[in-house]
Amino acid sequence: MGLPLRKSRVGALPPICPLTETLSLLRGAWAPNVVWYLSGGPRRFGELRHDIPRISARVLSARLHELEARGLVTRGLLNTSPPSAEYALTDLGRELLPAIEALAHVGRKLIQQWEKNGGTHAPRRKARAR
């Protein structure tokens, strides 16, 4: 039997971490990619599917809804037949672009390093024995 859980004696909540809050905006598979592809201007759903071919329609739809709820993306209805929607970055979404660009820059350096060392991708970690 384990030890009993003790109550915390800390009265106040810890301060909110700005880094954690910012990263939470981009949580979810493919969210940074969606923001990246919207940086070039508004895109319709099918255009985004073409831009990111490995993403499923279900996941793209979920990411767009989540990014819209977080205030990073706007969804505008187009007056077409059949009706269509267009997605664009908000000002807050655009503020994330320098951070995404910095991460992509580091990623390009890592890929160059791996290729220079004879590999084509990141070394895989060995599975732990259980």
Nearest to 34 by CA among 47, 24, 23: 47
Structural domains in the chain, sorted by start: 19-116 (1.10.10.10)
Among the residue ranges 10-14, 15-19, 25-29, 95-99, the one predicted with the least confidence is: 10-14
Residue 9 CA to residue 6 CA, distance in Å, equals: 9
Average per-residue pLDDT for the chain: 89
Average pLDDT of span 64-91: 95
First to last CA, the chain: 23
pLDDT score at 45? 96
* pLDDT score of 127 more than 60: no
Residue 43 CA to residue 87 CA, distance in Å, equals: 5
- Model pLDDT for residues 92-109, shown as the tens digit of each residue: 999 999 999 999 999 999
